[in-house]
A and B are shown apart, each in its own frame.
Chain A
Amino acid sequence: MRGNAEMHNLVAPGELGAVLQLLADEPGEWTPIAGGTELMVAFSAGRLAAPKLVSLWGIPDLRAIEVTPQSVIVGAAATFLDLRRNAVISSELPLLARAAGWIGSIANQSRATLGGNLVNGSPAADSSPALLAYDAEIEIISVRGRRRVPYSGFHTGYKRNVLSPDELLYAIHVPRRFADHARYLRKVGTRRAMAITKVALGATALLENGMIREIRIGAASLAPIPMRLWQTEAALLGRSVTREAMQSAHRALLKEIKPIDDIRSTAEYRRRVAMNLLDEFVLSLRPEGSQS
Chain B
Amino acid sequence: MNKSERASPNQHWPAIRFSVNGRAEQLKVPPMKRLLDVLREDLHLTGTKEGCGEGECGSCSVRMDGELVNSCLVPVLQAEGAEIQTVEGLALDGELHPLQKAFLEHGGAQCGICTPGMLMASAQLLELNPHPSLPQIREALAGNLCRCTGFIRIFESIAATIAPDCAGHAAESTLEPTPHAR
Contacts and interface: CB of A to CB of B under 8 A. Distances in A.
A249 to B, nearest CB: 34
Contacts of B31: 5, 9-12
Interface string A4-45: 111011111000000000000000000001011100110111
Contacts of A36: 73-75, 78
Interface in B43-68: 53-56, 58, 61, 67-68
A129 to B, nearest CB: 21
A83 interface: no
B6 A192 contact: no
B30 interface: yes
Interface string B1-31: 1000010000000000000000000000111
A43 B31 CA distance: 13
A149 interface: no
Nearest to B6: A6
Contacts of A108: 55, 70, 143
Given A36-B78, A37-B73, A105 B144 contact: yes
B7 to A, nearest CB: 10
Contacts of B75: 5, 10, 33, 36, 40, 43, 53, 55
Contact of B73 (A53, A111, A193): A111
Contacts of A6: 1, 6, 30
Given A36-B78, A44-B53, A107 B30 contact: no
Nearest to A40: B73
B121 A106 contact: yes
Interface residues of B, number: 33
Given A9-B31, A40-B74, A194 B56 contact: yes
A58 interface: yes
A40 B69 CA distance: 13
B33 A105 contact: no
A104 B32 contact: no
Contacts of B55: 37, 40-41, 104, 107-108
B67 A81 contact: yes
A44 B72 contact: yes
Contact of B32 (A45, A53, A193): A53
B142 interface: yes
Given A9-B31, A36-B78, 16 more contacts: A5-B29, A5-B34, A6-B30, A10-B75, A10-B77, A12-B31, A33-B75, A105-B143, A106-B140, A107-B68, A107-B70, A107-B143, A110-B68, A111-B70, A193-B139, A193-B142
